[in-house]
C-alpha cells in the first residue's frame, strides 16, 4: 500500500510535475470576453495537468454600475456581481472543456466596523470619467477621486480580516473543481454579536485574494490585469517594468509612491503580503499574455 502510494507519487511527479495549488485574481477592469477566454484556456490547461485552481475576480466597474442602477448596500451588490461574473467565468471554462467541473462559492469576508476606510474611502468603482462634474454620485453621494485614467467614484474598502467560507472552498478543491471564490473581494460583513451584517463597502479584490491565497497555502499567486506589471516611474518617459523583485525592495518602491492607490498599489501590497507569509512567489501581469505571466516573465515578487 505504502509502496504503491510512493510509486504513484513518483509517477505523478515525473509524468506531470508535482501538482500545485494556484490562485488567479482576474481584474475587474480587464474583464472582457476575450480576456476571460484567454485566461480560461491557460487555467484549464493547468488544471488538466493535475493542479488545483482557485479563480478570484474584481468587480470595480460592475459594482459601480449596479450601485447607480439599484442603489443597494455595496456588499449585497458585490454578492450579485459574484453570481453574474462567476457564471461568466464558469461558462468560459466550460467552453474550453466540457469535462471541467467548476463552482462559484459566494464568499463572505469579515471586516472591522471601525476600519478607517468607513470614514476615509479610497476604493474606486464604476466608470472612469474625463471630467469630475460628470461622475454620477448615486444615492449615497460617495466622493470622487482623480486617478491616472480619469475621475471615479470612491467607496469604503476595509481590510479583509478573515475569509469565512474556506471550508466550502477547500471541499470543492479536493473534489477536483476549479473554484471561483472571493469575487469582488468577497461580500463584506461585520460582526454583530453572534450574527454578521452586510457592510456598505467593497473590499479590494487584490488584498482579499492575497488573504485567500495565504489561507489555502497556494504555491503561486497571480494577479492578472490590463497592464504588463508594476512599473517604476509609471507614465514618465523613463518608466520601467519591475521584473523579479524581493519583498524588501518592493517595500521601498511602495514607500517611494511608485504605485497608484486603488489600482497598482493594492496589487503590490497583496503580493508582498503573500510572499512574506508563505515564502512563495506572487506575480502581476497582463491577462492577455497569461502564458508569459505563468512562466514568470512579468512582475514577480519573491520572499
State the nearest-atom distance from the C-beta of 123 to ligand ADP, in Å. 10
Pick between residue 52 and residue 82 the one whose CB is nearest to ligand ADP.
82
Pick between residue 25 and residue 163 the one whose CB is nearest to ligand ADP.
25
DSSP letter, residue 159: P
CA-based nearest residue to 80, from 163, 169, 191, 198: 198
Helix or strand run (H / E) with residue 284: strand 282-286
β-pair type (150-155, 143-147): antiparallel
Q: Give the whole-angstrom CA distance, residue 106 versus residue 180.
A: 9
Helix or strand run (H / E) with residue 126: strand 123-129
Q: Could you list the active site residues?
A: 28-29, 123, 205, 267
Binding-site ranges for ligand ADP (CB under 6 A): 27-30, 58, 60, 148-149, 225-227, 230-231, 234, 258-260, 263-264
Which residue's CB comes closest to ligand ADP? 27
State the nearest-atom distance from the C-beta of 299 to ligand ADP, in Å. 9
State the nearest-atom distance from the C-beta of 149 to ligand ADP, in Å. 5
Residues in the chain: 303
State the nearest-atom distance from the C-beta of 194 to ligand ADP, in Å. 35
Helix or strand run (H / E) with residue 79: helix 74-96
- CA angle centred on 223, ends 30 and 291, rounded to 5°: 85
Pick between residue 36 and residue 230 the one whose CB is nearest to ligand ADP.
230
Pick between residue 50 and residue 150 the one whose CB is nearest to ligand ADP.
150
Amino acid at each position: 500500500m505504502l509502496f504503491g502510494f510512493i510509486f504513484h507519487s513518483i509517477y505523478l511527479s515525473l509524468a506531470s510535475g508535482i501538482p500545485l495549488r494556484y490562485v488567479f485574481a482576474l481584474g475587474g477592469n480587464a474583464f472582457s470576453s476575450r480576456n476571460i477566454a484567454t485566461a480560461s484556456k491557460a487555467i484549464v490547461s493547468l488544471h488538466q495537468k493535475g493542479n488545483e485552481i482557485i479563480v478570484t475576480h474584481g468587480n470595480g466597474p460592475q459594482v459601480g454600475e449596479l450601485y447607480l442602477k439599484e442603489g443597494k448596500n455595496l456588499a449585497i451588490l458585490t454578492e450579485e456581481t459574484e453570481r453574474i461574473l462567476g457564471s461568466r467565468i464558469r461558462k468560459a471554462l466550460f467552453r474550453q472543456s466540457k469535462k471541467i467541473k467548476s463552482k462559484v462559492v459566494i464568499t463572505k469576508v469579515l471586516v472591522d466596523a471601525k476600519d478607517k476606510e468607513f470614514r476615509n474611502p479610497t476604493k474606486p468603482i464604476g466608470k472612469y470619467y474625463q471630467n469630475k462634474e460628470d461622475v454620477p454620485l448615486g444615492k449615497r453621494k460617495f466622493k470622487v477621486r482623480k486617478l491616472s485614467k480619469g475621475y471615479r467614484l470612491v467607496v469604503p474598502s476595509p481590510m479583509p480580516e478573515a475569509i469565512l467560507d474556506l471550508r466550502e472552498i477547500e471541499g470543492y478543491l479536493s473534489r477536483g473543481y476549479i473554484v471561483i471564490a472571493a469575487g469582488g473581494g468577497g461580500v463584506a460583513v461585520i460582526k454583530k454579536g453572534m450574527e454578521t451584517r452586510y457592510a456598505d463597502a467593497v473590499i479590494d479584490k487584490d488584498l482579499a485574494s492575497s488573504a485567500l491565497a495565504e489561507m489555502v497555502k497556494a504555491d503561486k499567486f497571480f494577479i492578472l490585469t490590463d497592464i504588463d506589471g508594476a512599473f517604476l516611474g509609471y507614465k514618465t518617459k523613463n518608466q520601467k517594468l519591475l521584473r523579479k523583485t524581493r519583498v524588501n525592495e518592493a517595500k521601498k518602491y511602495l514607500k517611494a509612491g511608485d504605485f497608484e492607490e486603488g489600482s497598482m498599489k493594492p496589487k503590490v501590497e497583496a503580493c508582498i503580503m503573500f510572499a512574506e507569509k508563505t515564502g512563495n512567489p506572487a506575480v502581476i501581469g497582463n491577462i492577455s499574455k497569461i502564458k508569459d505571466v505563468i512562466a514568470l516573465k512579468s512582475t514577480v515578487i519573491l520572499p
